[in-house]
Chain A
């Protein structure tokens, strides 16, 4: 058996808010996104103050550095990548759901268009790890 198997992304999307319920330790998510609009009058160079990205990963074995990239889908331009977050997927425990939540602040959207949040492990794109966000002008 391989000593390292890339995890598979089962769920991955941006949303308004993500909060852990202290009663049971589970995430509560608010208003998942696929299409959003810049505020009225804003048609370019928009920095979204806060985006929560929620992901569920399974099937991984081994340690991985998880990162998320933001890309402009139309141009292929990479707008940025987060710092690596080390995550350990224990062998024999592939059915466990690993919930990874990114709290993204000041996220740039230079123009309206289609953007992709891409989840990566050790610099490799993960299957199912693309979340698309359509941004309209205000």
Chain B
């Protein structure tokens, strides 16, 4: 796991014996016709599913392209969509081999801006540098703020 520390979480719990509650006299139980016994549960049980997470989080250092898009409040939604779509298509077409795709998890709103994040589906060793070049091209062509994020 690289330079990660590994070990075991610490938990702080205060443990006591179970609190005993005899509900025999609770409201409504004095009338007749009650049946006492054990609940029946119907459970479908299997062996646990093993998951090795060693490779997880490795993508945190992956480069991504961030398109920061701002519109006037009066801009029609169709124009917003069309402009954003063109931006995304232009960026993706500039480096088709990287397979830039819309990143649902990292795309977000920042204040009144929309940050569209495109992540390489097929990252290469020089992906970061190539994204910087794409960012510059898109920035100059559209005047839209574009940045390369880790």
Does A79 contact B106, Cβ atoms closer than 8 Å? no
Does A26 contact B105, Cβ atoms closer than 8 Å? no
Cα–Cα distance between A63 and B2 once the two chains are bound (Å)? 37
Q: Which of B1, B10, B43 touches A38 (beta carbons < 8 Å)?
A: B10
Nearest Cβ distance between residue B25 and chain A, in whole angstroms?
30
Enumerate chain A residues within 8 angstroms of B105, measured Cβ to Cβ.
71, 76-78
Q: How many residues of A contact B (CB 8 A)?
A: 52
Binds A, one of B55-63, B69-77, B86-94, B124-132: B55-63
Knowing A97-B44, A104-B51, A105-B50 are in contact, say whether A110-B11 is a contact too (CB < 8 A): no
Nearest Cβ distance between residue B52 and chain A, in whole angstroms?
5
Size class of the B contact interface (CB-based, 8 Å):
20 to 34
How many Cβ-Cβ contacts under 8 Å join chain A to chain B?
129
Does A46 contact B56, Cβ atoms closer than 8 Å? no
Q: Does A138 contact B (CB under 8 A)?
A: yes
Does B5 contact A82, Cβ atoms closer than 8 Å? no
Nearest Cβ distance between residue B53 and chain A, in whole angstroms?
5
Does A33 contact B11, Cβ atoms closer than 8 Å? yes
Does A20 contact B45, Cβ atoms closer than 8 Å? yes
Q: Does B96 contact A (CB under 8 A)?
A: no
Enumerate chain A residues within 8 angstroms of B16, measured Cβ to Cβ.
none
- Interface on chain B toward A: helix, strand, loop, or mixed SS? loop
Nearest Cβ distance between residue A50 and chain B, in whole angstroms?
8
- Interface on chain A toward B: helix, strand, loop, or mixed SS? strand
Knowing A47-B6, A78-B105 are in contact, say whether A102-B49 is a contact too (CB < 8 A): yes
Q: Which A residues, 48 to 104, have Cβ-Cβ distances below 8 Å to chain B?
A: 48-50, 52, 66, 68, 70-71, 75-80, 82-83, 85, 95-104
Q: Which B residues, 30 to 59, have Cβ-Cβ distances below 8 Å to chain A?
A: 41-46, 48-57
Which residues of A approach B to under 8 Å, CB–CB?
16, 18, 20, 25-27, 31, 33, 35-40, 42, 45-50, 52, 66, 68, 70-71, 75-80, 82-83, 85, 95-108, 110, 135, 138
Which residues of B approach A to under 8 Å, CB–CB?
1-13, 41-46, 48-57, 60, 105-106, 108
Given contacts A27-B45, A101-B48, A108-B1, 18 further A-B contacts (CB under 8 A): A35-B11, A37-B12, A38-B5, A38-B9, A42-B5, A46-B6, A47-B7, A47-B53, A49-B7, A78-B105, A79-B56, A79-B57, A80-B55, A83-B51, A96-B43, A96-B44, A97-B41, A107-B56
